[in-house]
Amino acid sequence: MIEWTRAARVGLFTVVGTAAAVGIYRWVSTDTGSAGGYTVHARLKDATGLAPQSRVMMAGIAVGTIASIRLENGAARIDVRMHRGVALHVDASVIKRSQSLLGEYFLAVAPGTEGRPELHDGDEIPTAVEAATSDQIMSDLARIADRVKLVSENLANTLGTPEGQQQMQATLKNLAQVTEALNETVRENRESIRQTLLNVQNITTQGAPEMRKILENVRVVTDDVRTLLAEGRGDKGTQTGHLRDTFDRVQRASASLESALAHIDSVSTRLDEGKGTLGRLTRDETLVNEVEGVVEGVGDFVGGVSRLQTIVGLRTDYNFLSNTVKSYVELRLQPSEDKYYLLEVINDPRGLTSFEQTDVDTTDPTKPAHYREIRTTTTNTLRFSLMFARRLGPFTGRFGIKESTGGLGLDTHLLRDRVEIRQDVFGFGEELRPRWRIALGYEFLQRLWMYGGVDDVFNRDRHDYFLGMQLRFNDQDLKTVLPFAPSKP
């Protein structure tokens, strides 16, 4: 009875041990843990350090295992068995990361953007990031060490000499002086610096919502670019979406460009051979010289027109003795600094005087058989002036038509052209003596002149004193005023 009890105990222990081993195996086995999952693959240039059945991590958690590693088209194809419930999207990525300094690696997977289409069994993870290997890191460290060694040798050669030591001492002394000056500046401007930092803080605080909007816009643009690239990849041997349309347009544009270049080549050949109008123009020196002369003439004319300056003057004078008002509208066309053309419209209260001479033959015994009649007619009409002016130093001479009669003028400019003495002689034939007017002008405000003087100095019965104001402005002032002028809606 005792022996049978021991056998039962051994059998029971064996059953329990077997059950425990099966449970442990099912808990440890990677194949069992990934049952019901799906398989995806990725391609890496270097699979060194990776082994089948090793873990695939996401955020430090095992989410699958490496099912197999094999060579395919010159790259390492790695099949990954993902656990059920772990979703990968079309923009997922995989990277090989170092697990220790002994050369062990594991695969880390990024799931991609939530909401994008998911990968299914047999799909490929589109993005594979190649991490630097330990050999590359050691090679980079070796190159850095060589450069550090070279720098240290050059530094020793530079500072190891007495001259280098003196220069180093001078540099340190200058650095100390600069540091002291900088400290002094900071102490003197401590309040300003504090205020500046507060302003920067306020700006960053107030601009935080705008920065968030900008980052959100950048994220949206990045998603759109990823979508475009994903649509552009498509299946093997096909290209869809906007990228295909873009490639087609580029191909058509290149064909058009090739045709245009062929035409340009043909035209340049005809030009070299001297065919056609342009060909003769490039080969015939006489024709070229004539064209250059015409172009220079047109350029001089256009340049003169572009340099033409327009000056407008509005003037009103009050005549004291006759108690009348005289008005002027003056227009100067000035192509250069030393000459201009003057056009005036004058409303003169004296009017325009004209003379008519008539020779009369009569048989009236009470009158002479032959006599002459002279009639003087004064009409209330506008007078006009059209004169050419040329300046020599402080003097400007004028001649032409002055107030509808022949006339001459002389202007004297003083005090940087702020003072003018204007003299005009005109009205020959209206009276026995011509009409001489002299006026003194002063620009007491910019563009605003005051004039005063004597009119008709020679004729005592007609002379008068006047005082007036003139507003004088140029085309630049007109350009400034015209945009604000009222317009019809």
Q: Where are the domains of the chain?
A: 1-28, 34-136, 308-481
Structure tokens at 265: 């080549």
Least confident of 4-13, 169-178, 229-238, 273-282: 229-238
Residue-level pLDDT at 33? 45
Backbone φ and ψ for 161, nearest 5 degrees, come out as: -90, 160
- The mean per-residue pLDDT over the stretch 454-459 comes to 89
Structure tokens at 47: 């699979």
Pairing, β 309-319 against β 127-129: unpaired
Backbone φ and ψ for 395, nearest 5 degrees, come out as: -115, 140
Percent of the chain with pLDDT over 70: 78
Give every CB contact of residue 434 below 8 A, 6+ residues apart in sequence.
425, 426, 427, 428, 458
Contact, 44 vs 73, CB < 8 A? Answer: no
Contact, 306 vs 450, CB < 8 A? Answer: no
Residue-level pLDDT at 31? 45
Q: How far is CA 263 from CA 112, 268, 272, in A?
A: 51, 9, 14
Identity of the residue numbered 105: Y
Query: Crossing angle of helices 241-273/276-283, nearest 10°?
Result: 60
Residue-level pLDDT at 478? 67
Give every CB contact of residue 32 below 8 A, 6+ residues apart in sequence.
25, 26
Structure confidence by residue, pLDDT tens digits, 35-81: 568 999 898 888 877 888 888 888 888 889 888 988 888 888 989 99
Note if the pTM is more than 0.85: no
E-strand stretches of 99-156: 105-110, 127-129
For the domain with range 308-481, which CATH number is right: 1.10.287, 3.30.70, 1.10.3470, 2.40.128? 2.40.128
Q: How confident is the model at residue 236 (pLDDT cuts 50, 70, 90)?
A: very low
Residue-level pLDDT at 163? 79
- The mean per-residue pLDDT over the stretch 421-441 comes to 88
Q: How confident is the model at residue 279 (pLDDT cuts 50, 70, 90)?
A: low
3-state secondary structure of 285: helix
Structure confidence by residue, pLDDT tens digits, 284-308: 667 666 667 666 765 565 455 456 7
Give every CB contact of residue 315 below 8 A, 6+ residues apart in sequence.
327, 328, 330, 449, 451, 468, 469, 470, 471
- The mean per-residue pLDDT over the stretch 115-132 comes to 84
- The mean per-residue pLDDT over the stretch 373-381 comes to 69
How confident is the prediction for the chain on average, in pLDDT?
80
Buried b or exposed e, range 160-174, using 16+ CB within 10 angstroms:
eeeeeeeeeeeeeee
Residue-level pLDDT at 489? 40
Residue-level pLDDT at 39? 92
Other C-beta atoms lying within 10 Å of the C-beta of residue 396: 19
DSSP 368: -
